Amino acid sequence: MQALTSRAKQVDRKPMTFIESIYLWNIIKGMIITFKHIWKRKETVKYPEQKREFSPVFRGLHILNRDAEGRENCTACGLCAVACPAEAITMEAAERKAGEEHLYREEKYAARYEINMLRCIFCGFCEEACPKDAIYLTETFAPANYKREGFIYGKQDLLIPTPAEKKKA
């Protein structure tokens, strides 16, 4: 059978010499590499005092955006859930009731919106698929947690606080 790529290498099956069998040469090579790294710059970042520089295209936690009046941008179209290759986004749509015009922009809104961060691969497809710019990825890490339930972010965890909520805090 012919190989599909040219990456295959022939394995040398000759018996090892005495020097090779005691692995002395491999130990010496490992020590040389270790001593070379002693004099190089340290990669450790002292976290609370120093913050790590991120790439401008770094994608972190998701945020559900609001408009200037504090209403939710999400219209529960489902394009973000369809675009997600990991199927990490779950949403349920609901109809806006009378008197809720100050909460939602359109007649339809996301009654339930969840992102499972354990499944998310932070590809950014949800952000690109959203026609209303309702979801975007920030430069924030996902915090550590001890239970799986802590990594499923609901709508209230993802929404940006309204201007009225910001003043209270």
Question: How far is 169 from 167, CA to CA, in rounded Å?
Answer: 6
* CATH (residue range 62-168): 3.30.70.3270
Q: For 91-150, how does the pLDDT look when each residue is reduced to its tens digit (9 = 90+)?
A: 999 998 888 888 888 889 999 999 999 999 999 999 999 999 999 899 888 788 899 999
Is 6 annotated as ligand-binding?
no
User: Average pLDDT in the 145-159 region?
Assistant: 91
Is 95 annotated as ligand-binding?
no
Is 130 annotated as ligand-binding?
yes
Is 24 annotated as ligand-binding?
no
Is 151 annotated as ligand-binding?
no
End-to-end CA distance of the chain: 68
- CA proximity to 117, closest of 83, 151, 158: 151
